[in-house]
């Protein structure tokens, strides 16, 4: 069993408040979960309104599958 994880540090220039940021992050999380079936959460920079650190995790029996999924998420 192979567990893969990655972190993405996002800059959200269109966000002018934490409320704006939450809207953007919620939509990203929803789209990524539905498209790639990964676990995803905002893991840092929670109180910064133009920055977000997202963590992704996936699991599979094959390393190639895990690497492929994480690469697709990074390119999304």
CB 55 within 8 A of CB 9: no
User: pTM for the whole thing?
Assistant: 0.81
| Residue-number span of the structural domain to which 24 is assigned | 2-75
Per the structure, how many domains does the chain have?
1
Q: How many helices (H) and strands (E) in the chain?
A: 2, 3
For the segment 8-28, what is each residue's pLDDT rounded down to a tens digit?
A: 999 999 889 999 999 999 999
CATH number of the CATH domain containing 9: 3.30.70.1120
For the segment 30-47, what is each residue's pLDDT rounded down to a tens digit?
A: 999 999 989 999 998 888
């Amino acid at each position: 069993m192979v567990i893969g994880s990655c972190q993405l540090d996002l800059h959200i220039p269109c966000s002018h408040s934490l409320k704006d940021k939450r809207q953007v992050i919620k939509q990203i999380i929803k789209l990524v979960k539905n498209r790639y079936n990964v676990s995803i959460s905002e893991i840092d920079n929670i109180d910064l309104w133009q920055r977000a650190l997202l963590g992704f995790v996936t699991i599979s029996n094959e390393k190639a599958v895990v690497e492929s999924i994480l690469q697709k998420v990074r390119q999304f």
